[in-house]
């Protein structure tokens, strides 16, 4: 016998066993508060010793509070029976305590934790070691966290005014200034934002700068959440840094604030991160506008604008992914686990009703089922889109430095990101196979197998599919539009003349209506007075606020309607084209009633597309072949036909396709195929680009396979 086991059997019980037999007790620093969730009372409990939040019904919380370390199970059962009015046995109380101990709810001293660890079996420890990944998990890499509570307490002492009404109004004014600058410079900011996050033309220094600025912004964002949590009485016990698929991220423990805060306060905590980002955006926007171009401060502010601007708001406030917008939505709806519950419901329903698998569909009330289905589908689609964008982002970064091998990190990133989902799909397919294999095997009788083989052979030999070639096109278009005045007025400005080319949306003439101007000015003046009255009533908590606010909304709607009518004083062309109306300037000073014809603009009534097709595909079609075109940004496919094929190769226009993918290879020659198509709706505009498919003769699947095989060997043999 092993000497250690012999000594263990011979010696009496050690104090560790007695420690393990003590009645459990709550954490002395526990934080709890009752909330309403889904119409039912629920107590949220934060246990600092295990850094976890639990939720219990009020009756369970009443029993938990009796575990103070001084009463034994018999006494607790007696006390709870007296409180609840129902009889509870000692065994029931002991079982309840054991269930909570299994989820590490009870407080343990360091000595008790060591005893619990020593009592783990060797098999369990080996099982835990096997679960650890040998290579790690790139989806989430955590680094040691810090405790920022003292710093936030110090900071909050000087910045508690952030939550006062006057500072909120000041912040909204700053937001208004930032929005005005953004709108006035949107052509520059919007274009650069897309280019900035594309990362297809960046140096390693740009990547490093983006990474460092992102770290600063993320820290600022998380401090916003922690600061709001501190305001509502919650401690912030740790803040850490993580890499999510190697992208920088910070996380903050605001669980105590989530426990203590009301629904409105929890929404404020969720809003605080993006709110402080928007404050930073507006401040640096004003600095950017006032500093000289091409200076270090000017460029640094612009980078911060691109990181903290609209892209950050759209990402963080999107409720389809578990970020700030999702938690705000769950607070509004009162459904805590919306994503998990909706995904489980849709997944279970599909498995049970479509795949006919023996799984149970989670119960969801009828009024929620449609919403759950829509949310689960949209959320899943958005999440997979984000993962795809991350993989493409990596490819864009490396494509700028090594186009020939950029696909390796792009595909590697995609495999790492989607590996867990690929395994889940594999397990699901295995489950379906095991469930259906016996029935499928019994269904495939010899007669049916012969019939299926015959059907497959017929399908392989029938010419069901047409040959096609894909090309890229540029459109030239024309249409006619009669421009009329939608409101009456006197013509004050004429911006164009006969024979001049104007772009879509350009103003042709401008009208003036003194009566409408007077109504606009009067409505704005009334709205300003009522707005000031409503703000003052709100600040003074006056009972007149409701009436003032209703009147303010009414006048605001009236002002917006008048503003729309004022905007219609400029008659704009809906299409690009030539002005056909003669002596348009003669209308200057004339009064035009509503509905009067102002001008006529003409564009091509027939679209002409120049389709660039690779030389390898020219043999697949001829003049008169059918063509289908899809312009970028459109969902409707246009039908057309080939009118001519140019005999010589042409250079494809820059920007039509990404020629960088041919670096290291010899790009194919492109031939222009002229295509004519009608454009009765005028939706297609000159200069539009897109993808075209030119169709040839019909072939069977066997014919396609034979042709590809023959062409392959012909090229190699030559």
pLDDT by residue (tens digit) across 331-371? Answer: 888 787 888 889 889 988 988 888 888 888 888 888 888 99
CATH of the domain at 470: 2.40.30.170
**Residue 437 CB: number of other CB atoms within 10 A?**
10
Domain match, 389 and 273 both? no
Q: Which of the residue ranges 97-106, 523-532, 629-638 would you say has the lowest mean pLDDT?
A: 523-532
C-alpha 489/C-alpha 591 separation (Å) is 6
Domain match, 323 and 343 both? no
pLDDT value at 590 more than 70: yes
pLDDT by residue (tens digit) across 245-299? Answer: 556 677 888 888 888 888 888 888 888 888 888 888 889 889 988 888 778 888 7
> Could you tell me where the DSSP H helices lie in 488-584?
514-539, 545-567
Domain match, 72 and 180 both? no
3-state SS, one letter per residue, for 89-105: CHHHHHHHHHHHHHCCC
- Classify residue 82 by burial, with Cβ atoms within 10 Å: 0-12, 13-18, 19+: exposed
Residue 645 lies in a domain: yes
Residue 436 lies in a domain: yes
Domain match, 593 and 610 both? no
Residue 667 lies in a domain: yes
Question: Residues with Cβ < 8 Å from 249, sequence gap 6 or more?
Answer: 218, 241, 242, 243
**Confidence grade of residue 11 (pLDDT, cut at 50, 70, 90):** very low
Domain match, 549 and 570 both? yes
Domain match, 654 and 579 both? no
Domain match, 275 and 415 both? no
pLDDT value at 21 more than 90: no
Residue 131 lies in a domain: no
Q: Which of 333, 349, 384 is the last residue of a domain?
A: 333
C-alpha 716/C-alpha 707 separation (Å) is 14
Domain match, 324 and 342 both? no
**Confidence grade of residue 406 (pLDDT, cut at 50, 70, 90):** low
Mean pLDDT across 6-27: 51
**Between residues 384 and 128, which one has the greater pLDDT?**
384
pLDDT value at 522 more than 80: no
Q: What is the pLDDT of residue 197?
A: 61
C-alpha 213/C-alpha 353 separation (Å) is 49
Domain match, 309 and 367 both? no
Q: What is the pLDDT of residue 18?
A: 42
Domain match, 481 and 592 both? yes
Domain count, the chain: 5
Mean pLDDT across 135-139: 48
Q: How far apart are the first and last CA of the chain?
A: 81
Q: What is the pLDDT of residue 252?
A: 85
Mean pLDDT across 400-427: 73
**Between residues 460 and 151, which one has the greater pLDDT?**
151
Residue 129 lies in a domain: no
pLDDT by residue (tens digit) across 371-382? Answer: 999 999 998 888
**Residue 419 CB: number of other CB atoms within 10 A?**
13
pLDDT by residue (tens digit) across 487-496? Answer: 888 888 888 8
- What is the extent of the structural domain holding 186? 141-333
Domain match, 200 and 293 both? yes
pLDDT value at 72 more than 80: yes
pLDDT value at 59 more than 80: yes
Q: Residue 642: which H helix or E strand, with range?
A: strand 638-650
| Residues forming beta bridges with residue 631, ordered by sequence position | 690
For the residues of 335-389, what is the DSSP string, one character each? -TTHHHHHHHHHHHHHHHHTS--S-PPPP--HHHHHHHHHHHHHHHHHHHHHHHH
345 close to 376: Cβ distance less than 8 angstroms: yes
Q: What is the pLDDT of residue 660?
A: 53
Q: Residue 219: which H helix or E strand, with range?
A: helix 204-231
Q: Which of 303, 333, 363 is the last residue of a domain?
A: 333
Q: Which of the residue ranges 6-10, 494-498, 673-677 would you say has the lowest mean pLDDT?
A: 6-10
Q: In the predicted model, what is the mean pLDDT of the chain?
A: 77
Q: Which of 62, 91, 121 is the last residue of a domain?
A: 121
C-alpha 376/C-alpha 341 separation (Å) is 9
pLDDT by residue (tens digit) across 152-211? Answer: 989 999 999 999 999 999 999 999 998 898 888 877 777 666 666 655 555 667 667 777
Helices 366-399 and 338-353: crossing angle in degrees, nearest 10, is 100
Residue 454 lies in a domain: no
Residue 450 lies in a domain: no
Q: What is the pLDDT of residue 422?
A: 81
**Confidence grade of residue 131 (pLDDT, cut at 50, 70, 90):** very low
**Confidence grade of residue 597 (pLDDT, cut at 50, 70, 90):** confident
Q: Taking CA 596 as the corner, what is the angle to CA 594 and CA 598, rounded to the nearest 5 degrees?
A: 125
Domain match, 654 and 589 both? no
470, 402, 416, 220: CA torsion to nearest 10: -110
Residue 7 lies in a domain: no
pLDDT by residue (tens digit) across 534-573? Answer: 677 667 677 766 776 777 777 677 777 767 777 777 788 8
**Between residues 629 and 123, which one has the greater pLDDT?**
629
- Residue 544 phi/psi, 5-degree rounding, is -80, 0
Mean pLDDT across 33-46: 79
- For 55, 65, 163, 232, 264, the CA distances from 41, given in Å and listed in that order, are 10, 17, 28, 21, 17
pLDDT value at 233 more than 90: no
């Amino acid at each position: 016998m092993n000497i250690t086991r012999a000594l263990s059997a011979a010696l009496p019980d050690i104090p560790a066993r007695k420690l393990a037999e003590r009645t459990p007790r709550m954490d002395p620093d526990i934080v709890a508060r009752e909330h309403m969730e889904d119409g039912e009372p629920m107590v949220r409990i934060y246990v600092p010793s295990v850094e976890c939040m639990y939720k219990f019904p009020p009756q369970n919380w009443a029993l938990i509070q009796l575990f103070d370390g001084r009463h034994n199970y018999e006494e607790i059962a007696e006390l709870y029976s007296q409180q609840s009015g129902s009889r509870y046995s000692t065994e029931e109380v002991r079982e309840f305590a054991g269930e909570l101990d299994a989820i590490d709810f009870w407080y343990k001293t360091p000595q008790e934790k060591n005893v619990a660890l020593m009592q783990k079996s060797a098999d369990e420890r080996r099982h835990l070691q096997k679960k650890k990944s040998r290579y790690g998990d790139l989806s989430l890499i955590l680094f040691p966290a810090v405790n920022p509570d003292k710093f936030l307490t110090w900071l909050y002492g000087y910045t508690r005014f952030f939550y006062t009404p006057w500072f909120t109004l000041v912040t909204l004014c700053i937001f208004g200034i930032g929005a005005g600058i953004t709108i006035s410079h949107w052509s520059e900011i919007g274009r650069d934002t897309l280019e900035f996050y594309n990362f297809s033309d960046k140096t390693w220094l740009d990547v490093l700068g983006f990474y460092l600025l992102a770290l600063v912004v993320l820290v600022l964002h998380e401090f916003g959440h922690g600061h709001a949590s501190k305001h509502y009485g919650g401690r912030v016990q740790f803040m850490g840094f993580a890499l999510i698929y190697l992208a920088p991220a910070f996380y903050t423990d605001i669980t105590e604030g989530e426990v203590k805060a009301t629904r409105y306060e929890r929404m404020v905590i969720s809003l605080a991160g993006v709110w402080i980002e928007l404050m930073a955006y507006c401040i640096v926007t004003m600095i950017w506008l006032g500093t000289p171009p091409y200076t270090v401060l000017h460029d640094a502010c612009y980078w911060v604008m691109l990181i903290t601007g609209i892209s950050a708001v759209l990402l963080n406030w999107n409720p389809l992914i578990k970020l700030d917008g999702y938690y705000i939505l769950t607070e509004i709806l009162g459904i805590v686990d919306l994503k998990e519950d909706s995904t489980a419901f849709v997944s279970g329903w599909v498995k049970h009703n479509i795949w006919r698998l023996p799984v149970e569909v989670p119960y969801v009330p009828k009024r929620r089922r449609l919403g759950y289905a829509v949310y689960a589908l949209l959320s899943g689609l958005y999440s997979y889109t984000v993962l795809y964008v991350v993989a493409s982002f990596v490819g864009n970064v490396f494509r700028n430095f090594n186009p020939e091998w950029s696909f390796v990190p792009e595909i590697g990133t995609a495999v790492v990101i989607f590996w867990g989902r690929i395994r889940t799909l594999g397990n699901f397919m295995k489950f379906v196979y095991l469930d259906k294999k016996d029935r499928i095997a019994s269904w495939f009788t010899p007669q049916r197998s012969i019939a299926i083989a015959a059907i497959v052979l017929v399908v392989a030999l029938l010419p069901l599919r047409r040959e096609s070639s894909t090309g890229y096109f540029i459109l030239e278009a024309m249409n006619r539009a009669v421009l009329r005045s939608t409101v009456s007025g006197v013509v004050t400005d004429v911006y164009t003349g006969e024979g001049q080319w104007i772009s879509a949306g350009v103003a042709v003439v401008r009208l003036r209506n003194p009566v409408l101007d007077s109504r606009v000015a009067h409505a704005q003046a009334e709205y300003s007075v009522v707005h000031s009255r409503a703000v003052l009533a709100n600040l003074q908590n006056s009972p007149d606020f409701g009436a003032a606010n209703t009147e303010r909304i009414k006048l605001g709607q009236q002002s917006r309607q008048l503003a729309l009518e004022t905007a219609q004083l400029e008659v704009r062309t809906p299409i690009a084209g030539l002005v056909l109306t003669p002596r348009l300037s003669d209308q200057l000073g004339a009064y035009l009633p509503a509905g009067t014809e102002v001008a006529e603009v003409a564009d091509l009534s027939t679209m002409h597309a120049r389709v660039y097709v690779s030389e390898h595909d020219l043999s697949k079609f001829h003049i008169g072949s059918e063509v289908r075109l899809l312009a970028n940004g459109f969902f409707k496919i246009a039908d057309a036909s080939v009118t001519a094929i140019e005999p010589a190769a042409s250079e494809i226009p820059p920007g039509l396709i990404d020629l960088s993918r041919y670096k290291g290879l010899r790009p194919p020659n492109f031939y222009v195929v002229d295509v004519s198509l009608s454009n009765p709706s005028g939706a297609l505009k000159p200069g539009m680009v897109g993808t075209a498919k030119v169709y040839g003769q019909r072939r069977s699947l066997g014919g396609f396979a034979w042709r590809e095989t023959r062409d392959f060997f012909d090229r190699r043999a030559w």
